[in-house]
Amino acid sequence: METAIITLSENQIVLVDGATGYLGNHVVAALSKQGAKVRALVRPQATAADIAFLEQCGAQIFQADLTNFQSTPAGQKRKLEDAFAGIGAAVHLIGSVAPGKNEKFAQLHQEQSRAFASWCVRAKDVGGFAHAAMITSLGADLDSPSEYLRSKREAELALLTELDGAQITSTIFRPSLIVGRTVGRRDSKLVKRYRHLARTRPLVPLINGGKNLVQPVFVTDLAEAIVTKILAAGASDICEIGGLAPISMRQVVSEIMSVLAIEKSFFDIPVAVALAAAGVMQRFQNVPLVSKDQALMAGFDNICHDNKLAEIIGRPPTELVQALSTYRNWDGD
């Protein structure tokens, strides 16, 4: 397959929220590489180091909490109006599989998605806004046993209700496990946890024995897919995104340890035991080491039924070993 061609309109401005996060860093870098003018919407409490990285990528920084256009306080509304003014596209990345103690999935996912969409509608009303992108999760479903995955589908619906009513097209990306890093200071929370466990524990714990299947996608491939779709501004769609093939979580962790030149044995933790431990962590830790939803999702597969990655980026996905090799000689967050 030939490499996908990205067409940029002159002076294309793209806003990215959640820009200080793991995927956000890679999306901002990829957009900047393609010549887009990037606006990074970040929390008021964002660290100087995170902001410095985004500025090095050429992004213009806007610090404000994302709230619904109709209910945003006057002072904050001016900041958000400046951030969204004149943009042609926007990428929504805010969310978490393990919210902090005082956060709820509904707040992080549905409310933030609705707020993001309300500002996209506002941007269309006053300018040439064309397309929005949102990243949720493979398996997002109202009938999922996972509250996280249910909330991701509810977030999709909240976004689509706003955008469809305003006739704004959008792309929803549903990735499996995201791995690797090429820019920034962040990492996948799950991969970070296993890198830490492999380095510090005599045995590496695996919930459900790591039997569940995932389809790891290289973060750079995902960022490329997002940029391709957002700049093409085509019809609305929902895209499942994964790597070359399904693989067990046990195999993924084995590959991570191989890259780090670590040889250790595993010990298996039943899902029920992991759920009980996660309940305690969520009660006492501000951001739990393992959340109930992470423990629960280790009990079922998370693989693509219709992987759109190769079609979007115009080439096969990056091999898992190559993606994980980016962790070699890196000791970041």
CATH of residue 37: 3.40.50.720
Tell me whether residue 94 is in a domain. yes
Tell me whether residue 75 is in a domain. yes
| pLDDT at position 332 | 64
Structure tokens at 330: 């890196």
Tell me whether residue 90 is in a domain. yes
| pLDDT at position 7 | 45
| pLDDT at position 331 | 67
| pLDDT at position 33 | 92
Tell me whether residue 292 is in a domain. no
Q: Give me the sign of the Cα torsion angle 234, 240, 246, 248.
A: positive
Phi then psi for residue 153, to 5 deg, are -70, -40
Distance CA 259, CA 57 (A): 28
Tell me whether residue 73 is in a domain. yes
Least Cα distance to 207 among 149, 274, 252, 255 occurs for 274
Q: CA angle at residue 333 from 32 to 139, to 5 degrees?
A: 75
Phi then psi for residue 260, to 5 deg, are -85, 0
Q: Between β-strands 203-207 and 60-63, what pairing exists: parallel, antiparallel or unpaired? A: unpaired
Overall domain count for the chain: 1
Least Cα distance to 137 among 291, 293, 275, 269 occurs for 293
- Between the alpha carbon of residue 73 and those of residues 52, 203, 239, the distances in Å are 28, 51, 35
How many C-beta atoms surround the C-beta of residue 327 within 10 A? Answer: 19
Q: Are 104 and 148 in contact, with CB atoms under 8 Å apart?
A: no
- Sequence-ordered alpha helix ranges (H) in the chain: 22-33, 48-56, 74-84, 105, 112-126, 147-165, 189-200, 219-232, 249-259, 271-284, 292-297, 309-313, 320-324
Q: Give me the sign of the Cα torsion angle 308, 310, 313, 314.
A: negative
Amino acid at residue number 157: L
| pLDDT at position 279 | 82
Tell me whether residue 258 is in a domain. no
| pLDDT at position 151 | 96
The tens place of each residue's pLDDT in the chain, 333 residues long, gives: 333 434 445 468 999 999 999 999 999 999 999 999 999 999 999 999 999 999 999 999 999 999 998 888 888 889 999 999 999 999 999 988 877 777 888 888 999 999 999 999 999 998 889 999 999 999 999 999 999 999 999 999 999 999 999 999 999 999 999 999 999 989 998 899 899 999 999 999 999 999 999 999 999 999 999 999 998 888 999 999 999 999 999 999 999 999 999 999 999 999 999 888 888 887 877 777 778 888 889 899 999 999 999 999 999 999 999 999 999 877 665
Tell me whether residue 321 is in a domain. no
Amino acid at residue number 282: Q
Structure tokens at 85: 């003014």
Count the helices and strands in the chain (H runs, E runs): 13, 13
How many C-beta atoms surround the C-beta of residue 192 within 10 A? Answer: 16
Tell me whether residue 107 is in a domain. yes
| pLDDT at position 2 | 36
Q: Could you tell me the residue range of the domain that residue 66 belongs to?
A: 13-179+215-243+305-315
| pLDDT at position 5 | 39
Q: Provide the phi-psi class of 75: left if phi over 0, else alpha when psi is between -120 and 50, else beta.
A: alpha
- C-alpha 16: how far from its chain's center? 12
Least Cα distance to 99 among 291, 297, 280, 296 occurs for 291
